[in-house]
Amino acid sequence: MVEPGTFPDEEAEVDAFIARLKVGGEPGASLPWFDPAEPFVVARAPGRLDVMGGIADYSGSLVLQRPIREAALAAAQHDPAPGLRIVSLAADGGPARTLAIDGGTLDRFFNEGCGAARDWFAARPDDHWGSYIAGVVVVLARDGGAPPGGGLRVVIDSQVPEAKGVSSSAALEVAAMSAIAGLLEVPLSGEQTALLCQKAENQVVGAACGIMDQMTAAVGRSGSLLALLCQPAEVQGFIRPHESIGFWGIDSGIRHAVTGGDYTSVRIGAFMGYRILAELQGLPTAGPNRAGLMWVDDERWSGRLANVDPAEFVSRFAELLPRTMRGDAFLAQYGGTTDPATRVDPSRTYAVRWPATHAVHEHNRVVRFAALLAYEPDDDLLGELGEMMATSHESYSICGLGSDGTDLLVDLVRAAGSDAGLFGAKITGGGSGGTVAVLGRADAGDEVARIARTYEERTGRPAHVFSGSSAGAEAFGVRRVPR
């Protein structure tokens, strides 16, 4: 576990959090369970702006992710009483949310696995917010070899807004995992932290997310784009854009959720498409196994649509993929998919051709986008980057992951154009609302703010602007607070 680096803004944020814990944990104060007289460990993890790649992460795409300034903070402390006690501080200073899981229940999660924890939270929807923290505790105990050996107290305080498509859940998970691992003295790399957190979100929270969110929160670098090849989590480097280039996020005010049906159905459709491609290519298959998963012996594409050549896809496969297919017909013909995070619903009809097409082409757009960022930017180069963002945005919409609000924001950026220093915008993350990423000259911040105000006036929805960046959890390290 890395100790704190030198990040003045982030350090000041953590100082304020610790001060709040010290005061709030005193007798008679508003923070239950926490004991400021006992040692604790604090970690911090940022949200992220999805510049390019988005939903293609689960198909093995290259993605470009920028950590944002807003972050989640977590404090972990031993508790003499068995079990897990979670406190979530309110951003507005209001009453904290609390959840206590007794020692017997937590031990059952450790023994029976993530499914037991997922079922427990499914029966308690009002407490589902706590599944993000409980999930990392369960996964760390089972896969990280670190059962707490007693009780745990975890306090979280997040400035990453929920349901805005900037990965508030991954920020929470990575901050909590980092703090708990630090408390238990478990040495985890940033990549290990991210993979464990993704498992917690997939198998306890029940969200079929890819890996890019957790990786950005864990290993992101302030001001840089994380170039991550999601096969499964290969860091290809950190791209520091030219100082004349700026990226922003504008919140559409439309709630986004990775657990939503549209996101999940598009993911399932993409994996159905891959399974059909494997059959068309004559790849050996077996299954389904007890979990309903197929096995494909794929030395050509390594099981990922991102590795399919776009020209070959168009010439050989695209027209052979069904536009849509009912789940029961697919299961009868192909047995299942290779995706461990989702299940095909026999009674549902899925789009297949376009989700698969998006994954194949998005990877190649991101590769080109990353390559262009290595050059001195002029208007032509920025214009090409903007066109790739526009194409990605349109592809989301065809997949069924667009929204009127994000379309309007993209149109407003396009209308402002290069004369205003703006070159492109696109929907981000899981789509269906959330935040739009904006590309422009570094001095175009006032124009971005003007567009946000125009959007608010037209729609009546608040449009928060995300600007700035901050360090990921691994670079920042942990803060150990002694007695």
Instruction: Tell me the per-residue pLDDT of 423-470, one tens digit each, with 9 for 90 and over.
Output: 999 999 999 999 999 999 999 999 999 999 999 999 999 999 999 999
- Give tens-digit pLDDT for 59-82: 999 999 999 999 999 999 999 999
> What is the reported pLDDT for 70?
97
Of 333, 358, 383, which residue constitutes the final position of a domain? 358
Q: What pLDDT is attached to residue 265?
A: 97
**Across 363-381, average pLDDT:** 98
Note whether 209 and 77 are same-domain residues.
yes
Query: 91: domain CATH number?
Result: 3.30.230.10
121 within 8 A of 204, measured Cβ to Cβ: yes
Does 82 share its domain with 208? yes
Name the helix (H) or strand (E) containing 215: helix 212-219
92 among known catalytic residues: no
> Residues 24, 154: one domain?
yes
Residues 174-206 pLDDT 10s: 999 999 999 999 999 999 999 999 999 999 999
Domain membership of residue 405 (yes or no) is no
Give the count of domains, the chain: 2
Q: What percent of the chain has pLDDT over 70?
A: 96
Tokens of 357: 């097409």
C-alpha span between 422 and 445 (Å, rounded): 10
> Active site residue: 213, 251, 262, 339, which one?
213
Q: What is the mean pLDDT of residues 35-52?
A: 97
pLDDT, position 149: 80
Pair 202, 296 in one domain: no
Considering the domain boundaries, does residue 443 fall inside one? no
Task: Tell me what pLDDT residue 32 has.
Answer: 87
pLDDT of residue 257: 63
Other beta carbons within 10 Å of 108? 15
The beta strand positions in 121-195, using DSSP E, are 151-158
In-domain check, residue 40: yes
d(CA 220, CA 211): 13
Please check the confidence at residue 163 and state whether its pLDDT lies above 90: no
Both 169 and 282 in one domain: the answer is no
Are 86 and 147 members of one domain?
Answer: yes
Structure confidence at residue 3 (pLDDT): 46
Query: Looking at the structure, do residues 200 and 289 belong to the same domain, yes or no?
Result: no
Question: Could you read off the pLDDT of 438-447 as tens digits, one per residue?
Answer: 999 999 999 9
Q: What is the pLDDT of residues 383-436, one digit of tens each?
A: 999 999 999 999 999 999 999 999 999 999 999 999 999 999 999 999 999 999
- Assigned domain for 80 exists: yes
**Which of 326, 358, 390 is where one domain is finished?**
358
Cα–chain-centroid distance for residue 304?
19
Is residue 236 a part of any domain in this protein?
no
Contact 225, 384 (CB under 8 A): no
Q: Give residue-wise pLDDT tens across range 315-359.
A: 999 999 999 999 999 999 999 999 999 999 999 999 999 999 999
Average pLDDT over residues 98-111: 97
Is residue 181 situated within a structural domain? Answer: yes
How much of the chain exceeds pLDDT 90, in percent? 90
CB 89 within 8 A of CB 156: yes
Worst-scoring range by mean pLDDT, 153-167, 245-259, 268-282, 351-365?
245-259
Please tell me the predicted confidence (pLDDT) of residue 341. Answer: 92
Q: What is the pLDDT of residue 146?
A: 80
So what's the pLDDT on residue 261? 62
Coil/strand/helix, residue 244 = coil
Say what the pLDDT of residue 26 is. Answer: 59
| Domain end among 343, 358, 373 | 358
What residues make up the domain containing 143?
8-58+65-221+470-481
Taken as a whole, the chain contains a residue count of 483
What confidence tier does 27 reach under pLDDT thresholds 50, 70, 90?
low
**Could you read off the pLDDT of 214-230 as tens digits, one per residue?**
999 999 999 999 999 99
* Rounded-to-integer distance, Cα 302 and Cα 310, Å: 16
Same domain, 27 and 116: yes
Asked if 45 and 179 sit in the same domain, the reply is yes
Q: Are residues 88 and 14 in the same domain?
A: yes
